[in-house]
Structure 1
Amino acid sequence: MTADNKKSPEIPDCCYYPNNPLLITPNLPTPKHSLYLSNLDDQKFLRFSIKYLFLYEKSVCVESLKISLSKLLTEYYPLAGRLRAQDVVNHENNNNNNDHQKLVVDCNGEGAFFAEAFLDYTVAEFLEFSGKPNKSWRKLLYTVDALTFLDVPPLVVQVTNLRCGGMILCTAINHCLCDGIGTSQFLNAWAHITTNPNSDLPIQPFHSRYVLKPRIPPQVTFTHPVFTNFIPQIGENSHFALNKFLQSQPLIATSITFNPSQILNLKKKIVPSQKCTTFEVLASHTWQAWVRSLNLLHLINVKLLFSVNIRKRIEPQLPQGYYGNGFVLGCAETSVKDLVTKNLCHGVKLVQQAKSCLNDDYIRSMIDLLEDKKVRTDLSATLVISQWSRFGLEDVDFGSGKPLQMGPVASDIYCLFLPVVNDPESVRVLVSLPQNMAEKFEFYMTQYLDCDQNIQINGYHNQERMILV
């Protein structure tokens, strides 16, 4: 395991914009209609933009990027539209608080926001400290002047040319329209059209979301621990206090890279009869380290939520090219005591059980549950892991080569599993925590596994006190 301990410096202001930002519209007329968003798209949990950063050794002609984006938006025309809210009536309760806003896409062809900038910086300078996102990286993505989330275009792009001839490409893609697989499909399609202007898309986008529509009436036939309709008040329970505490603290990013041999060593700690994937063992190890670093009471129940692709888990399977939210969250849950005192097998089994229950019946029940707009994702005492390491984002090549670095523009309390450029079997784990907790988290992710197993299981409290001193 390799922890990146270099402190990322502030990058200078992007003080020079050679041209005013503009809207890139589809180069041909596109359908004008309202695009239905599924209940998986329309979750309040997803009402944000996924912000990607790509660093390239050589820049690409900005005009060619604009032309190819205009062509691509003819195919992906909803990304040139605007989100709109509609009032809907809750199926289960016709008394108070019936009216809720459901989002749809007004496919009006207004266009994607595109900004071009220059930064007095070099690729080498950026790479030296690129292991951890820095708040100043937000300068690399133009902030659209908008009153609400709905007023921001679903696609925002900034191309920043560097002093050395390199380029940083940042994109913000509204999560209500695309999941990680969908954004990768779109970005690779953009790169394909840029390098092959006269060719067809390798994958045609599938726009309709009705394949994931709820049943009428809704049939919630399972319990779904991912969600809650309980809205606690401050101080009402320790779970809520923890979540609010983490959100209120100044956070720093911690980044730890696991290479194939280190991942294999983790797997060797699982009993031979229990096979597991890289994600299962690394997610379990990360969850354990995160909980240990927080020093929680043993009686508290903690959750791990992680994204699971459902494109082939439902019947019929989602069509090829489906770029909407084709994932749900798996939920593993246990007590702090069991998670920190039992070996890694315990967490792996919980992750595997959480994945195994996600069949068509369960997923349809979840979609129906989300008809109740009071339901929200339970983020109390919860670690959320999103896997970016198997989407092909590290392969996005606009003609000047694959990116030297790819990752998020900013980091938050959610955990990301990121790809490592030129090393497809390695995984970079990125999560932000308060300073003192981040240091303990790095310890538990790296050195702690080298300790004697008896110390890990029986000496947890002594070890914890030693770290806190």
Structure 2
Amino acid sequence: MYYPIKQAVDLELGQDPDKNSFLYKNPPPPSVFFPCFPIDSLSLSLSLSLSLSLCEEQARVTPKMPTNLELPDCHLLKPPILITPSSPTPHHALSLSNLDDQKFLRFSIKYLYLFRKSVPSESLKASLAKALVDYYPLAGRLRSAGNTDSCSGGDDDQRLEVDCNGEGAVFAEASMDITVEEFLGLSCWPNRSWRKLLYKVEAHSFLGVPPLVVQVTNLRCGGMILCTAISHCLCDGIGTSQFLHAWAHLSATPSAPLPVLPFHCRHVLRPQSPVHANPAHPAYTRSAPSRNDKTAALPADVHRYLQSQPLVPVSVTFTTSLILRLKRRCVPSLKCTTFEALAAHTWRSWARSLADHSSSSSSPLTPLHAVKLLFSVNVRDRLDPKLPRGYYGNGFVLGCAPAAVRDLVGNNLASAVKLVQAAKSRVDGDYARSTVETLEDKAARTDLSASLVISQWSNLGLEDVDFGEGKAAFMGPLTSDVYCLFLPVAEEPHAVRVLVSMPECVAEKFEFHMKGFVEREEKNGNGNAYGGEGDGLCCEDV
């Protein structure tokens, strides 16, 4: 008789199959079921070895979600203060580039660092004051430049600039009755209770929020949580990492000069004059999509659907070995980077879960819908001339890979990787300049209607920030959103944690698709299950 591995192991151990297990209550599709073996000593030994090694790795990288994710109360020790530059700084208006001034970026990037040993707050404040001498725009305030585009009105369409007035960054100190280890047990699932770890500045609009807000929260065990909110209009991921390293450097070695000095001016990204007429940019839209073209894939509004649903964070960690197993599914026909393989895999899993009509009667995708993958590409070295060293403004553009759901899901992983590679290869200096010129029109908006947006934090050096008492035991975002993040993993330099918020009704399905390739690989007995042929996922499967 033949049994799936899990049942075979239960029978050999003299146990009944676990009827409370997730797999028993939610059996996976036949194509991803555990491999079956005859019950004999040799096959059982092999089955037991494969099953246990798989379960151990998955348990290690994706721990079980605790029943209570709420953090205890956070107590402010004193009213927040403003940290001003320790020396006089230039007072002027800093114009932002078109890449900085996108509506898509009018928010703050919120980082959370968990350190096992706290750094004295006076040291943090003194080093921050020094860092703000060089990074003085972060001590200023955003304001409207008063240049409203003639083709559209309203405050939202006004260009922004930084009033470099030295007003200062917000700095708050707090305490929380929790330990580092206790927080690590909750760290995979950001939730609303985490927001108490960052002081909220009451403001009528985004312009009223200072470009830099910091809160240091001391923990019961002597550790600390450091949260920062840095305006995305001033810095991209590379720029924020550069600033945080500068601040940490001055905290750890106060008398040492900065290894990299910031470059402030944004004129290097001005559009050509006169602005050239560009064809439609794939990552942007100026109006609602047309439904007149009957031959094109149907448009969808997944973004609106996601915003209307209760969302839960899904966190899946890919260790070095899992990443290699994922990449092997594309060889020998195709070589790819970690980002290309993981982005393609995440995109397909996202589309499959949202197009699965068994999860919801109102699924936003069908096989005929068109979807896009948007991902940030650093263009500092792709422009001619290159952006100056130390440029910390937004120096990225969005790569765009389009596909119909039926093609994305119906073809194998290698096909999706090729779409990502093609999108990356299109991002050259001309593409970057085209983006800058497209954004000269303030009616241009990032096309989020049916797009998965991926931002890669895992190669920015964010996890290496050290204020003098060692690197962080954990770093990640303060909140989870529908925008997908590829995050670094502390003490595992080549691992990547994928974090994205999904509708509650499809979250388990998405997580299952993200992990499912391991079971399929075990079933096929090798790491190249999808290398050449399709993976058997037809339109009927979604």
TM (normalized to structure 2)? 0.81
**Structural mapping, 1:402-417, within 5 Å:** 402-417=471-486
Residue 146 (structure 1) shift: 1.1
- Contact 2:298/2:368, CA 8 A, preserved across alignment: no
Letter matched to residue 286 of structure 2: N
Q: Which of the residues 521, 532, 536 maps onto 1:458? A: 536
CA distance in 2 between counterparts of 1:302 and 1:182 reads 30
CA distance in 1 between counterparts of 2:537 and 2:432 reads 41
Encode CA deviations 1:89-111: one digit per residue, 9 max, x unaligned. 54xxx566498300000000000
2:450 maps to 381
Letter matched to residue 471 of structure 2: K
CA distance in 2 between counterparts of 1:96 and 1:131 reads 42
Encode CA deviations 1:421-456: one digit per residue, 9 max, x unaligned. 111111000011012211011110102453366997
CA distance in 2 between counterparts of 1:96 and 1:458 reads 48
1:261 maps to 321
Letter matched to residue 458 of structure 1: G
- Contact 2:367/2:539, CA 8 A, preserved across alignment: no
1:204 maps to 261
1:306 maps to 375
Tell me, what secondary structure is at the counterpart of 1:425? strand
1:48 maps to 107
CA distance in 2 between counterparts of 1:212 and 1:133 reads 35
CA distance in 2 between counterparts of 1:252 and 1:138 reads 15
CA distance in 2 between counterparts of 1:408 and 1:363 reads 27
Paired positions, count? 457
**Structural mapping, 1:412-451, within 5 Å:** 412-451=481-520
Residue 217 (structure 1) shift: 1.2
Report which of the two structures shows the higher radius of gyration computed on alpha carbons: 2
Mapped pair 1:319 → 2:379: no
Mapped pair 1:183 → 2:243: no
1:244 maps to 304
How large is the RMSD of aligned CA atoms in angstroms? 2.0
Letter matched to residue 123 of structure 2: S
Encode CA deviations 1:61-120: one digit per residue, 9 max, x unaligned. 001100110011010000000001123254xxx566498300000000000000000111
CA distance in 2 between counterparts of 1:448 and 1:293 reads 15
Letter matched to residue 283 of structure 1: A
- Contact 1:232/1:240, CA 8 A, preserved across alignment: no
2:274 maps to 217
Letter matched to residue 71 of structure 1: K
Q: Where does structure 1 lack aligned partners over 5 or more consecutive residues?
A: 465-469
Encode CA deviations 1:21-76: one digit per residue, 9 max, x unaligned. 01000011110000010000000000000000000001110011001100110100
1:401–1:36: structure 2 CA closer, same or farther, 3 Å change rule?
A: same
Tell me, what secondary structure is at the counterpart of 2:366? coil
- Contact 2:152/2:442, CA 8 A, preserved across alignment: no
CA distance in 2 between counterparts of 1:411 and 1:250 reads 13
Encode CA deviations 1:104-156: one digit per residue, 9 max, x unaligned. 00000000000000111111110112112121100000001111110100000
CA distance in 1 between counterparts of 2:267 and 2:129 reads 27
1:280 maps to 340
CA distance in 2 between counterparts of 1:98 and 1:399 reads 47
Mapped pair 1:121 → 2:167: no
**Structural mapping, 1:7-18, within 5 Å:** 7=66, 9-14=69-74, 16-18=75-77
- Contact 2:406/2:538, CA 8 A, preserved across alignment: no
2:132 maps to 73
Mapped pair 1:294 → 2:372: no
TM (normalized to structure 1)? 0.94
Q: Highest relative contact order (Cα 8 Å, sep 6+), 1 or 2?
A: 1
CA distance in 2 between counterparts of 1:334 and 1:232 reads 16
- Contact 2:300/2:370, CA 8 A, preserved across alignment: no
Q: Where does structure 2 lack aligned partners over 5 or more consecutive residues?
A: 1-57, 291-296, 356-364
Residue 457 (structure 1) shift: 3.5
Mapped pair 1:63 → 2:122: yes
Q: Which of the residues 340, 355, 366 maps onto 2:424? A: 355
Percentage of pairs with the same residue: 60
Mapped pair 1:398 → 2:467: yes
Mapped pair 1:140 → 2:187: no
